[in-house]
Chains A and B, each alone.
Chain A
């Protein structure tokens, strides 16, 4: 690791060289508070906004230093948008993102510049995310160049070290992306993300495009890198098997909402929200007898559009346990203990005692908007009654 020339930003722990036991996690590195990200749909000559895509719709959670938070959901749930908003590739429409205790939601480009060294992103498509006209050495070295680190010679050396770190040959410095396979390209993307030794890496579906045997190489690599560089990961994926393997905690999103948040094992043993139950049941198991025995919940219909999300609980049109209240009232995120939160009027796998102890999560109650954020939507401030079991 090379020494950073500038001091860490004010307001963060920023102590160099502290070894965090990453599985237990430390202080919150990232805090997402009531973040919303809407995209306007404009029509007509005057380009009026006629509708909005509610890509991320009031999401709150935090990510502890050293942990891996899995962010799971299907197409259109907002996970990629959320990932990009966290690293400020997008600016939140409302709410705030805090990095090491500092609000980064509204920072301008210049102020963001030093922060970019601390948070990086690996993209899903290894074919689209590397500039095909640049050599690999240049692609990986670019972040170093932009941040004025070292000189040409030292950068060259660093890039070669990075290539080795991700399991590629340093001799391939001068090759172009098309000369590599998908898995290798993904490694290049990882090397690029590592170049600045960030604290946080948002990995947006890093293995979805890879064959299963290459996938496992990549997951093992990401694991090793996390240990070696004390990284914090936000791992975005739709494959629950993969997510379980890498994550300490998992956040499940549906149509822009956070519907369940739990330590990884707990989620798989005791999913509370019916959507999570359906997601788990949809994952094919490479074991014919087990596969034949288990109950498969196959959801009807498609995921609705985030332009016009359903009323009440957004999952209600596809939910087998749906009742009237689900159509009318949006369920709050309730804390069922052991770090397991879920938003559902008819929670599964929750016994009576736990139900009675459950409280509406403190983390959900939207704090008054931070300065500069747009006003919150009306009607969400009151505490909800504790959901009753049907």
Chain B
């Protein structure tokens, strides 16, 4: 296999607060390969956004402490000088955020914001940059791009703003595009358009994509590999089909079971995971999911390592249950589903 494009090694991000130390990311490791789409799935507080924002060193908090390595093209991004990091950010690794209204500057024209991204990293002057911006807007499907390029963000709809953000992110042909909940704030038909767009553009621009979302439906569509995060850790990692058809973590079963499915007969009651995500200041002992896990047993007081327990290579999880037990127990949780 070729060298991974990005390798995150044991990343830890914590914040000192009045109430204690918040361990937002607590030892996360993964790789991103050329041309792949990595889905990072998790709910609020799982650490998924902080992980990727830390990769790009976008968080500037004096109370923050970061440990671990992020290797990109042979260099540890954590050790770069901030000017060097500035060159990587936006040019080689780009990011789009969840709510396009708050991520686009409302007092600058959309075109100017894209041009800024272009001229910062490439040897274009403003007029040439503007031409490129129009072209990019066209590529992301904005109609009448030559006219719309001079609009302000509030003149764009939600879907269009997200497209403009994607145009900005792809302006410099990055190797990796990080998309943080790109469709969450959008209507379902626009969401479908944006997913289709990201899928197509990754081929056109030959970029790898890291897609952060809580929506398992979205990753089912375009991801190759999926990471499930909980309480600042990776709790399961697998190629897409394996995650959906042979999930190993009770948390993953819970997520899959909580989704009302259009393709199945209506259920009487939705499965739900009891309780709430743990406090990141006072994490429970042992397995972090233990307090909410219907299958917890005494061994769970010791935190499991993220290792390969199933036959298939490349499928890692953090659960002490035997593979046979897992396959037996999960059917009840993922209502009606049979092991593939």
What is the interface of chain A, defined by CB distance below 8 A to chain B? 74-75, 181-183, 211-217, 219-220, 223, 238-242, 244-245, 264-265, 268, 278-291, 296, 298-299, 301-303
Contacts and interface: CB of A to CB of B under 8 A. Distances in A.
A75 B187 contact: yes
A264 B267 CA distance: 13
Interface of B: 43-44, 143, 157-160, 187-193, 195-196, 214-218, 220-221, 240-241, 244, 254-263, 266-267, 269-274, 276
Contacts of A238: 187-188
Nearest to B143: A301
A164 B160 CA distance: 44
A244 B260 contact: yes
B187 A240 contact: no
A194 B44 CA distance: 28
27 contacts: A74-B187, A75-B187, A211-B43, A212-B43, A212-B215, A213-B273, A217-B273, A220-B270, A223-B269, A239-B188, A240-B262, A241-B262, A245-B266, A279-B188, A282-B189, A285-B262, A285-B263, A286-B256, A286-B259, A289-B241, A291-B217, A298-B189, A298-B193, A299-B189, A301-B143, A303-B187, A303-B189
A238 B190 CA distance: 12
B44 A286 contact: no
B183 to A, nearest CB: 9
Contact of B272 (A217, A242, A264): A217
Contacts of A284: 191-192, 195, 215, 217-218, 220-221
A385 B84 CA distance: 70
B259 A74 contact: no
Nearest to B340: A289
Given A212-B255, A216-B272, A223-B269, 13 more contacts: A74-B187, A75-B158, A213-B272, A214-B43, A220-B269, A264-B266, A265-B266, A280-B262, A282-B191, A284-B191, A286-B244, A286-B261, A303-B189
Contacts of B263: 285, 287, 290
Contacts of A299: 189, 192-193
Contact of B254 (A213, A241, A278, A303): A213
Contact of A286 (B191, B216, B266): B216
A62 to B, nearest CB: 23
Nearest to A213: B273
B244 A211 contact: no
A237 to B, nearest CB: 10
Given A75-B187, A212-B255, A240-B188, A245 B270 contact: yes
Nearest to A181: B276
Contacts of A215: 258
Most buried by B among A213, A288, A299: A213
Most buried by A among B187, B218, B244: B187
Contacts of B216: 212, 286
A381 to B, nearest CB: 33
Contact of A216 (B159, B217, B271): B271
Contacts of B266: 244-245, 264-265
Contacts of A278: 189
B262 A283 contact: yes
